[in-house]
Structure 1
Amino acid sequence: MDTLKVRDAKDVEEVVRAAVAGEQPLEIIGHGSKRAIGHPMATNAVLDLSSLNAVSSYEPNELIITVEAGAPLADVQSLIDAKNQQFAFEPMDTSVLLGTAGIGTIGGMIGAGLAGPRRIKAGGARDHLLGAHAVSGYGDSFKTGGKVVKNVTGYDLCKLLTGSWGTLAVMTELTFKVMPKPESERTLLLRGLDDATANKAMTAALGSPFDVSGAAHLPGSAFRTPAGALASLAAAGQSVTLVRLEGIAASAAHRAASLGKALSSYGTVDLLEDGASVAIWSALRDVAPFAANGTLGAWPVWRIVCPPAAGGALGERLARDTGGDVIYDWGGGLIWAALPPNADAQAAVVRSRVGAAGGHATLIRATEEVRRNVDVFQPQPAGLAALGERVRKSFDPKTVLNRGRMTRGETA
């Protein structure tokens, strides 16, 4: 398989136009850290964007950064961290789950669109992407958005590109809003709650006036292989429910004390502060209990989004029916499920249970054989699928970009 390493957007145009002319599909990668997510692709060549790695501009006072798509995410985060700023949506590091090197890129971050625990307060990746330069499946460059938040004239293609897994266009440059890092954070910790009760406690916290920025629950089984920051929470198989508050130190402390009193009816409330709290939420963001190098490293992992009120019951039922483990984030609205590797049967159970709860599921980690035989992404109703296909064809009529990644059996 040929690897075509481009130097700039003009090179991308030429490569895509040649692929269109020959009707030969391309696999789009930055550093390839997420290649194991999605269906195995039908491709003859790899379009490598890793040389598009420059920071085009960074204006800390304006909270705006423009970066080429192949720039390593860790390098960009280090740059903005030096100015005490961050991507507020907490982009996930998939290397923990997938067992790859931590070499994700800015383009991969947007192509995947996977946001962390602060999603419930700050919004998702698409809400922080202000503008993009990209090359369509016609081989034509286009620009969408700009460098101001209110640049909303015309179609908001930034929203469309986020989470498209490289099937609509090849992104070459991206502009984001960044946010100041909180001065301080506090995490309230409750032990021993069952999933349904934890769901109620998280709902109460999120419905309070105390500006919660994270709410998660780890059943006792999630600590079968505790590691790193989460090892400090393991206690005789007890579950842990976590609620995070951030802001200036005085405010975070006051709100934590007030919310602690409000949640005391659910049990004793302990407190984690600053560095200890940051480490816990980083591990939760990256789903460390299901890490590739842990006891459950060979198990398929599903990412399930559902109505938060249904989360506790859905997670309990999935764990009971499959013998798997679950973790709850977003106040119950996001469930990570590690299920024993009986792939076909487990996929049917997941689709049935999640569909009944009004949610959708994506298979994030599985072997190549499994990804060939089950739907990795949520199957859509016929009408919605037809609309999505028309949108895709309007960007990439010959389906040369990441052909087959999101649709099982798409090889022609």
Structure 2
Amino acid sequence: GGVRDHLLGAHAVSGFGDSFKTGGKVVKNVTGYDLCKLLAGSWGTLSVMTEVTLKVMPKPEAERTLLLRGLDDATANKAMTAALGSPFDVSAAAHLPKSAFRAGTEGLGDIAGQGEAEALTVLRLEGITASAAHRAGSLRQLLAPFGTATLIEDVASAALWSAIRDVLPFAASGALGAWPVWRIVCPPASGAALGSQLARETGGDVIYDWGGGLIWAALPPKPDAHAPAVRAHANSVGGHATLIRAAEDIRREVDVFHPQAPGIAALSERVRASFDPKTILNRGRLTRSAG
């Protein structure tokens, strides 16, 4: 889940120099405004957090991952939607198109147990061993119309998901290390269409996570990092795009965070000013400002 859902409490100092506390040590103790939700993702523009309380989850006893091979983006999106909508408690769903396994992505194909590169759709189940094994078998039957799913367990499964979490195919040390990287969040049902169209138009590569709701896009170098195309596609489905990696000269010219609609931008500025009226904290981090 998102960090904002795991931040239970915080101590912080505002731009006024005032120390304040929000939330607490347990889940159900919020009274008044839940400032934790506001502080998470503010990139230090509202306050300096000096102490945080995080909710943690127990490590699952077992982990099983089903692999579907050779699906195109649209079909993979349907398979992930079917899996996430099933009663089998799928904890993660991702799709790596064939191009993600290009030379330079060391070990990713080996982890997945495949020699020749082909698209890979992966679905994870976690829990006690008996439950994870039973749900994996049932999910395999559900996904039979999409192909025969293979299974990897525990160590191999964890290594694969670690590579997906770290977006290994787009790592700086790999074949696409010099390409700008975008993080696009959109409705999962729109993910495949958005990602495949963006890849066709730009000649870039994409990886889908969160069942299609998160798209990592590595796009060929360009002075504007393809920002107009990326943000137009994200806006068309009600999503947003953040420029994660680009050369410094590009980052000076292109907004890193998705531009907000005028009304939301005005509201955000009023909130920021209520915490930091003199624009002391992380000035210019989220938006360009003369201040």
Q: Which residue of 2 aligns with 1:396?
A: 276
Q: Which residue of 1 aligns with 2:176?
A: 296
Q: In the alignment, is the contact (CA less than 8 A) between 1:230 and 1:280 conserved in 2?
A: no
Superposition deviation, residue 158 in structure 1: 0.5
Q: Which residue of 1 aligns with 2:49?
A: 171
| 1:246 aligns with one of 116, 122, 126 | 126
Distance 1:175 1:152 in 2: 13
Q: Which residue of 1 aligns with 2:215?
A: 335
Q: Which residue of 2 aligns with 1:136?
A: 14
| 1:145 aligns with one of 19, 23, 45 | 23
Distance 2:118 2:84 in 1: 23
Q: Which residue of 2 aligns with 1:158?
A: 36
Distance 1:385 1:226 in 2: 39
Give runs of aligned pairs for residues 163-312 of structure 1, distance below 5 A: 163-224=41-102, 225-233=104-112, 234-312=114-192
Give runs of aligned pairs for residues 315-326 of structure 1, distance below 5 A: 315-326=195-206
Superposition deviation, residue 177 in structure 1: 1.5
Secondary structure of the equivalent of 2:176? coil
Distance 1:340 1:128 in 2: 36
Q: In the alignment, is the contact (CA less than 8 A) between 1:161 and 1:168 conserved in 2?
A: yes
Distance 1:337 1:404 in 2: 25
Instruction: Give the counterpart letter for 1:227 in structure 2.
Output: E
Secondary structure of the equivalent of 2:226? helix
Cα deviation digits, residues 158-215 of structure 1 (max 9, x gap): 1111111111100110011211100001000000000000000000000000000000
Secondary structure of the equivalent of 1:190? strand
Task: Return 158-167 or 219-228, whichever deviates more.
Answer: 219-228
Distance 2:248 2:290 in 1: 15
Superposition deviation, residue 236 in structure 1: 2.6
Q: In the alignment, is the contact (CA less than 8 A) between 2:89 and 2:125 conserved in 1?
A: yes
Cα deviation digits, residues 31-80 of structure 1 (max 9, x gap): xxxxxxxxxxxxxxxxxxxxxxxxxxxxxxxxxxxxxxxxxxxxxxxxxx
Task: Return 286-295 or 192-201, whichever deviates more.
Answer: 286-295
Distance 2:235 2:127 in 1: 37
Residues 321 and 167 of structure 1, relative CA distance in 2, 3 Å threshold: same
Q: In the alignment, is the contact (CA less than 8 A) between 1:128 and 1:178 conserved in 2?
A: yes
Q: In the alignment, is the contact (CA less than 8 A) between 2:109 and 2:117 conserved in 1?
A: no
Superposition deviation, residue 229 in structure 1: 4.4
Distance 2:269 2:49 in 1: 20
Q: In the alignment, is the contact (CA less than 8 A) between 1:137 and 1:398 conserved in 2?
A: yes
Distance 1:146 1:160 in 2: 15
Residues 243 and 382 of structure 1, relative CA distance in 2, 3 Å threshold: same
Distance 1:162 1:375 in 2: 20
Q: Which residue of 1 aligns with 2:224?
A: 344
Which blocks of at least 5 consecutive residues in structure 2 are unaligned?
none
Secondary structure of the equivalent of 2:143? helix
Residues 254 and 343 of structure 1, relative CA distance in 2, 3 Å threshold: farther
Instruction: Give the counterpart letter for 1:273 in structure 2.
Output: E
Superposition deviation, residue 231 in structure 1: 3.9
Distance 2:225 2:170 in 1: 20
| TM-score of the superposed pair, with normalisation by structure 1 | 0.69
Distance 1:258 1:343 in 2: 49
Q: In the alignment, is the contact (CA less than 8 A) between 2:180 and 2:225 conserved in 1?
A: no
Runs of 4+ off more than 4 Å: none
Distance 2:77 2:6 in 1: 28
Identity %, equivalent residues? 74
Secondary structure of the equivalent of 1:344? coil
Superposition deviation, residue 235 in structure 1: 3.8
Which blocks of at least 5 consecutive residues in structure 1 are unaligned?
1-118
Distance 1:189 1:237 in 2: 14
Instruction: Give the counterpart letter for 1:182 in structure 2.
Output: P
Instruction: Give the counterpart letter for 2:117 in structure 1.
Output: G
Superposition deviation, residue 237 in structure 1: 2.8
Distance 2:111 2:12 in 1: 44
Q: In the alignment, is the contact (CA less than 8 A) between 1:230 and 1:283 conserved in 2?
A: no
Distance 1:411 1:298 in 2: 31
